[in-house]
Amino acid sequence: MKKVIIIRYSEIYLKGKNRGFFERAFETNLRRAVKDLNCELIKQSGRYLVQDFQEEETDEIVERLKKVFGLHTMSVAYETNSDMDSIFEVAKTLCHENGTFKVESHRGDKKYPLTSVEISRELGARLLSWAKGALKVDVHMPSFTIRVDIRENGHALVFGDYIEGANGMPVGTAGKGVLLLSGGIDSPVAGYMMAKRGMTIDCLHFHSYPYTNMQAKEKVVDLAKILSQYTCGTTLYTVSVTHIQEAIHEKCKPELMITLLRRFMYRIAERHALRIGGQCLITGESLGQVASQTIEGMTSSNSVVEQLPVLRPLVSFDKNEIIDRSVKMGAYETSILPFEDCCTVFLPDFPAIRPKLCDILREEEKLDVEGLIAEAFTSVEKIKI
Ligand code: ATP
Ligand code: MG
């Protein structure tokens, strides 16, 4: 009896003429996720199997596969001979000590002497008498299920419950976005959500070194690393906005500091995205979360982006929902480390909540916008994650 992992992907997304395209991306991402572990991935009629791995690496493989978007469910299964005795031997090892169960069977080999209903009935009966009253059958709400899949080569796969995958679409099938990655809770989650829809993600971080320290930068690198487990790798670009912030601080109304800085960030982000083939900007903004994330605030930052859409996958999320997702993706502990973000440098006491475009434009006239942007671009650093 040999252990394998069955991988199922979401059919709905994969039908039609594009199917091959999605499957290839999915397969590439699966291989990438386990490439340093000793195992083999094979494709088998509408699903994949991982096989030939070390028993003790099972959990590690499952954990990694859980981070591959497009994966619907998986099962750790045992491959055995398809005769009833062999199946029964494996099924016993999968049973809980007590409770209710059912058997579900599927017959890939139509020449198999029993129909799927007969397989389930036969195996169920054997398990019942073996359990001597500790187990009962419940076909509607069983506490566990034993599944049998009869294959054509005289083998059967026997397994228990399904393990839920990350679902979504394979990364690499929906273009490339540039994620404005801060050191906070929201933006890594925003990147996660877009990768879940198949988008390739590159990250862009603005810092104001030396006002923000090196630990703040390391934190962002760590967040990019966490995100990269879901995005099949990423590249992090960093840009200094120190001189931009100093110029705003020196010349403009303090209550517009954040609004003006944001408009610089968006301008730089769009130009950067166009240079690296990015097709949209992604931010972690959520409507009403803070003063700069009102609809007026979003309008003011959007209005400097000329060609690309700005995607805000968290726009309707409550903070609790974002935190929940952040915890699940493993970013939360890093996100809450207390290092300063550039937005907290020169922070005004009362930021403008509904900034008016005419006021913003008047303040911007005091600045050499193009010169400051050009200078910021000389500070770009590229970090391959
Ligand atoms: P986050 O938790 O993602 O930092 P936030 O609630 O702190 O979000 P803001 O600081 O207003 O909100 O930032 C809103 C969005 O702007 C962020 O989600 C991020 O996409 C972008 N952003 C903010 N600061 C930076 C930065 N230093 N570098 C890159 N992007 C940033
Ligand atoms: Mg922030």
Distance 342 CA to ligand 2 centre (A): 8
Distance 187 CA to ligand 1 centre (A): 6
Token couple for 154: 């005289």
**Coil, strand or helix at 302:** helix
Inform me whether the pLDDT recorded for 344 exceeds 80: no
pLDDT at position 1 is: 82
Cβ atoms 345, 315 nearer than 8 A? no
Q: How far apart are CA 256 and CA 352, in angstroms?
A: 6
Residues within a 6 A CB radius of ligand 1: 180-182, 184-187, 204-206, 283-285, 289-290, 292-293, 341-343
Distance 181 CA to ligand 1 centre (A): 7
Q: How far apart are CA 51 and CA 157, in angstroms?
A: 12
Cβ atoms 234, 383 nearer than 8 A? no
pLDDT at position 152 is: 87
From 180, 181, 182, give the residue whose CB has the most ligand 1 atoms within 8 Å, as the site to mutate.
Answer: 182
Among protein residues, the one with the nearest Cα to ligand 1's atom 18 is 284
Inform me whether the pLDDT recorded for 12 exceeds 90: no
The pLDDT-based confidence of 173 (bands split at 50, 70, 90) is very high
Mean pLDDT within 296-309? 94
pLDDT at position 11 is: 66
Q: How far apart are CA 99 and CA 161, in angstroms?
A: 14
Q: pLDDT for 237-291, tens place per residue? A: 999 999 999 999 999 999 999 999 999 999 999 999 999 999 999 999 999 888 7
The pLDDT-based confidence of 229 (bands split at 50, 70, 90) is very high
Mean pLDDT within 101-125? 96
Whole-model pTM? 0.93
Q: pLDDT for 182-199, tens place per residue? A: 999 999 999 999 999 999
The distance in angstroms from the start CA to the end CA of the chain is: 39
Inform me whether the pLDDT recorded for 330 exceeds 70: yes
Q: Which ligand is nearest to the CA of 187?
A: 1
Element housing 225 (H / E): helix 214-231
Cβ atoms 163, 65 nearer than 8 A? no
Q: Which ligand is nearest to the CA of 220?
A: 1
Closest CA to 180 of 297, 78, 263: 263
Strands (E), the chain: 2-9, 40-44, 47-51, 71-81, 99-107, 135-137, 144-150, 155-159, 163-164, 176-180, 200-207, 235-240, 280-282, 310-311, 381-384
Q: Which ligand is nearest to the CA of 301?
A: 1
Sign of CA dihedral 16, 18, 20, 26: negative
The pLDDT-based confidence of 13 (bands split at 50, 70, 90) is low
Tell me what percent of the residues of the chain surpass a pLDDT of 90. Answer: 85
Q: How far apart are CA 373 and CA 32, in angstroms?
A: 37
From 178, 179, 180, give the residue whose CB has the most ligand 1 atoms within 8 Å, as the site to mutate.
Answer: 180
DSSP codes joined into one string, 157-176:
EEE---EE---SB-TTSS-E
pLDDT at position 287 is: 95
